[in-house]
Homo-oligomer: A and B are copies of this chain.
């Protein structure tokens, strides 16, 4: 059920922008904060959320902390979506639907 946290993390535009930056490779907090209107602490908070969601990991390099995409986190989400998508495709095109009398 880890995908829940991931989805909630991905819901925020700023966090998606951060991920977008990280697509090109690992970045330090300072680098990530550049180009955003928001303050650096705000970025730090977003990074925390992304980490907790399993979408990022950190490695300290000297005084800096370098963040990086974590494929495993995305993989779980992928599975969830793929699954849901497949069920959706099963196309219950029936204009009719399960009888209302059935409590299910």
Q: Which residues of A contact B (CB under 8 A)?
A: 4, 7-8, 10-11, 13, 16, 19, 23, 25-28, 30-31, 34, 59, 61, 64, 66, 68-71, 74-75, 77-78, 81-82, 84-85, 87-89, 91-92, 94-98, 100, 103-104
Copies of this chain: 2
Q: From A34, which residue of chain B is reached at the shortest CB distance?
A: B103
Q: Knowing A61-B97, A97-B61 touch, does A25 contact B85 (C-beta < 8 A)?
A: no
What chain B residues lie within 8 Å of A84 (beta carbons)? 19, 23, 69, 74
Q: Knowing A74-B81, A85-B78, A87-B69 touch, does A100 contact B11 (C-beta < 8 A)?
A: no
A71 to B64, CA, bound (A): 43
